[in-house]
Amino acid sequence: MIDFSLSSELADLRDRTAAFVRDGVIPHEREVDAHGELPAETLAALRAQAREAGLYAPHVQKEWGGLGLDMRAISIVFEEAGYSLLGPLALNCSAPDEGNMHLLELVATEAQKEKYLRPLVAGTIRSCFSMTEPPPGAGADASMLRTRAERRGDRWVINGDKWYITGADGAAFTICMALTGDPKSAGQSGGRARHATMFLVDAGTPGYRVVRRIPSLDSGAPGGHCAVEFRDCEVGDEAVLGAVGEGFAYAQLRLAPARLTHCMRWLGAARRALDVAADYANTRESFGQPLGRHQMAQAMLADSAIEIQAARLLIWHAAWMLDTGADARHETSMAKVFVAETVNRVIDRALQLTGSHGVSDELPLAALYRNARPFRIYDGPSEVHRIVIARNVLKAAAIASAERHVHSAEGGEA
């Protein structure tokens, strides 16, 4: 049975999150600096209020200081948090920390959880995730990974370059993805089967360095997007996250839910854009009547409302799949493509409807526009997700066709 009703506890949590974002967070949006960052003391105060209000770290298990929600409940709360670009930061559920917390909860040792997860959830440290590399390394195609960790004695020595690593400047540690297989046994094409491992590398480890912040269209991620390097960076076995050789499997473990939680937060941003556009359309007059009475304006508002609801349903379904224990790669890929493109369309329409005011920083739309655009690229560009989805569609069709042949052959024999 399909039931979209929320429990009274979850509806209450949703409403309290919405009120906190509206009354407690949005008034601070004007305090962000040129990098889109909030003053540290404001962020600390917001997090204290979120904690006090019982809204903090909704995605983390209770024993580590969170609310212990499942993915379906998270989708309700994250949408409300995403209504402001600062909401997820205030609740300590923004990327990349949120995805890292999830991965640490799943595969870290107890000692690693105490060292990294506990302070991350407490908000006393930040983290980053180092996967993407400059050409010819890993990008949309993760199997092009080149960063390598070699075994020397009882140590691992990491060498490689990464870039667009969100939050690296000021992060207390990074999760670094590196090849650990025997280079001689890697296939000619260096395919996905190659052996990779994730390492927890502390800031300050000799050989690990944040090279620079890379200026970009978006802002608002504490620590920016950075180029980082690993040069004979030595770590011990205690730095291995999970099992050696499981890096690509863990990347999926991290990315499938993480791409969906991105969708949840951005859905809130799309709703904000629609609300701003609708307010403007109700009050601004043109050609003798409010903008909202003109049918072309109405069509924009209606299309945005329809697409937001469709996006929400894709998220909820994929969240339910994840809650059942399914890997939900197909479903999270479909949600990622649709939500990323919907959010950009909705914000673009809102900006068009609000005219010059929409382009200015008087309204939140310009910031949303700048920050939402990269979502069509990170956590898998739309094109790559479409490839995965199409592959599944083709495979399903081939299986169905083979089954039809078997049935008709059996029918023929009878």
Ligand X SMILES: Cc1cc2nc3c(=O)[nH]c(=O)nc-3n(C[C@H](O)[C@H](O)[C@H](O)COP(=O)(O)OP(=O)(O)OC[C@H]3O[C@@H](n4cnc5c(N)ncnc54)[C@H](O)[C@@H]3O)c2cc1C
Residue numbers at the binding site for ligand X (CB under 6 A): 96, 128-132, 139-140, 164-166, 218, 225, 374, 377-378, 381, 383-384, 387
State the minimum distance, in angstroms, from the CB of residue 339 to ligand X.
Answer: 16
* CB closer to ligand X out of 131 and 256: 131
Taking a C-beta distance cutoff of 8 angstroms, is the pair 92, 28 a contact?
no
State the minimum distance, in angstroms, from the CB of residue 6 to ligand X.
Answer: 32
State the minimum distance, in angstroms, from the CB of residue 95 to ligand X.
Answer: 7
* CB closer to ligand X out of 165 and 277: 165
Phi, psi of 7 (to 5 degrees): -65, 160
State the minimum distance, in angstroms, from the CB of residue 404 to ligand X.
Answer: 31
Token code pair at residue 46: 């917001």
* CB closer to ligand X out of 116 and 164: 164
What is the DSSP secondary structure assignment for residue 28, as one 8-state letter?
Answer: G
State the minimum distance, in angstroms, from the CB of residue 231 to ligand X.
Answer: 18
Which residue of the chain is nearest ligand X when measured via CB?
A: 139
State the minimum distance, in angstroms, from the CB of residue 375 to ligand X.
Answer: 8
State the minimum distance, in angstroms, from the CB of residue 105 to ligand X.
Answer: 19
Phi, psi of 47 (to 5 degrees): -65, -35
- Is residue 227 within a helix (H) or strand (E), and if so which, with residue range? strand 225-235
* CB closer to ligand X out of 100 and 354: 100
* CB closer to ligand X out of 65 and 139: 139
* CB closer to ligand X out of 169 and 218: 218
Token code pair at residue 163: 């870039």
Which pairs from 294-303 meet CB under 8 Å and 24+ separation?
297/353, 300/349, 300/352, 300/353, 301/274, 301/277, 301/349, 301/353, 303/345, 303/349
* Burial class of residue 392 in the structure, from the number of CB atoms within 10 Å of its CB (0-12 exposed, 13-18 middle, 19+ buried): middle
* CB closer to ligand X out of 145 and 321: 145
Rounded to whole angstroms, the Cα distance separating 215 from 303 reads 34
The amino acid present at 359, given as its one-letter code, is V
